[in-house]
Amino acid sequence: MGSKPTDAEPSLIASSFQWPVPDDEIREALDAAYRDGSWGQYHGPHSEGLIADLQQQFSVEHIMLCSSGTIGIELALRGCGVEADDEVILAGYDFPGNFRAIEAIGARPVLVDVDPTTWCLDANCLSELRGEKIKAVIVSHLHGGLADMPRIVALARERGWRVVEDACQQPGAVLEGRPVGSWGDVGVLSFGGSKLLTAGRGGAVLTNHAQHHQRMKVYSDRGNQAFPLSELQAAVLRPQLKKLSHRNQLRRERVVEICEATSKLDQWLRPIFWKTDAQPVFYKFAWSFVPAETKPEMREELLAKLAAKKLPFGVGFRGFVSRSERRCRKAGPLPHSAQLSQSTLLLHHPILLAQRNAALQITHWLDDVIQQMVS
Ligand SMILES: Cc1ncc(COP(=O)(O)O)c(C=O)c1O
């Protein structure tokens, strides 16, 4: 894997990056909100400005700011007209809150498998799927993988299903020239504390359908907006949105370098795949740790060794394969969801904005740890 870029201690590398990134523009936005009193307002110019920025960036007509990506998914389903006793298709490997959002409405998840190369819902699983109760499908873009939206949207249209596109992990990603989050009937963003656009908490729901937007507004209106994003949150998000594309590009470049540096480990690490003409966004970067596909305890051993070095790796989602048939319908076998829930290894994004040497040093430690384990 080439010569080691530095001999620094792992803990020094791990602490050499910070999240959120220190940023004078954010400090100025906070100061300005203090001076003009907008920090204490329900609604105002920052929210209006953020809505206009998002409309432009995502080419969508209607934006509803909200308090989290999790509630955003539920609002999106409600906006699409999903009701109690309906069915909603969901990948067997996904963010747990998406399963709960379906349940919160009294609807039932219908699980389909993921594509093991992208970690996202497999469009092939939709073609055979039928069911009169199915109203919508939730499609999440996960860990730098992009779902096959052109195919999924086409299949959903034919069958009369609505598409809720979860872009919480990938703000600014582009697929076939179109922003991710604008492919579905409704798209959802998260502004949670670890997210690439962060206000500590928050989210946004995007749609071109006036009726969907109206339904979400009516549901959220309890004499006041029940799931709000504050003016202060909107104020700190606007400067980040301006920098998003540049930062996404830096992260992409770093991921490409990391992939090159780890390519000799391909027997043990299978990275997420993306098409060369796509522009994914890396909130996390995923590998499948191949030995753990059959022996889950191998991933625990690897993670313990990485954690001992304070390296910024984690696991993926637990997935829904073991959820009982009482809570969901399994539309078919879910082998890839099962496999990825036990083998996914994630690199968290802050290191992707650190200096090149720090990011590449991580791959050397990863190499060392894996070689120790398998030799
Ligand atoms: C794919 C996905 N969807 C939705 C969410 C929920 O976002 P929030 O944390 O803003 O509720 C997350 C959060 O990690 C996520 O990864």
Cβ(109)–Cβ(330) under 8 Å?
no
Rounded Cα gap, residues 315 and 336, in angstroms: 16
Q: Is the CB of 140 under 6 A from ligand 1?
A: yes
Structure confidence at residue 2 (pLDDT)? 46
Structure confidence at residue 239 (pLDDT)? 98
Q: Give me the mean pLDDT over the 209-233 stretch.
A: 98
For the cut 60, the answer to whether the pLDDT of residue 246 exceeds it is yes
For the cut 70, the answer to whether the pLDDT of residue 11 exceeds it is no
Q: Is the CB of 69 under 6 A from ligand 1?
A: yes
Q: How confident is the model at residue 4 (pLDDT cuts 50, 70, 90)?
A: low
pLDDT, tens digit (0-9, with 9 covering 90-100), for 135-175? 999 999 999 999 999 999 999 999 999 999 999 999 999 99
- Alpha carbon 257 to its chain's center: 22
pLDDT, tens digit (0-9, with 9 covering 90-100), for 113-143? 999 999 999 999 999 898 999 999 999 999 9
pTM: 0.96
pLDDT, tens digit (0-9, with 9 covering 90-100), for 24-48? 999 999 999 999 999 999 999 999 9
Centre of ligand 1 from the C-alpha of residue 335, in Å: 24
pLDDT, tens digit (0-9, with 9 covering 90-100), for 286-317? 999 999 999 999 999 999 999 998 888 999 99
Q: How confident is the model at residue 6 (pLDDT cuts 50, 70, 90)?
A: low
Calculate the alpha carbon distances from 173 to 59, 119, 186, 247, 282 in Å: 13, 16, 16, 12, 9
For the cut 70, the answer to whether the pLDDT of residue 12 exceeds it is no
pLDDT, tens digit (0-9, with 9 covering 90-100), for 47-75? 999 999 999 999 999 999 999 999 999 99
> What is 10-21+243-374's CATH topology?
Aspartate Aminotransferase, domain 1 (3.90.1150)
Structure confidence at residue 130 (pLDDT)? 87
The residue among 360 and 331 whose pLDDT is bigger is 331
As a CATH number, domain 24-240 is 3.40.640.10
Domain 10-21+243-374 matches domain 24-240 at the CATH topology level: no
Q: Is the CB of 92 under 6 A from ligand 1?
A: no
pLDDT, tens digit (0-9, with 9 covering 90-100), for 86-116? 999 999 999 999 999 999 999 999 999 999 9
Q: Give me the mean pLDDT over the 257-277 stretch.
A: 94
Domain parsing of the chain, residue ranges: 10-21+243-374, 24-240
Pocket test for ligand 1, best of 114, 118, 190, 195 (most atoms within 8 A of CB): 190
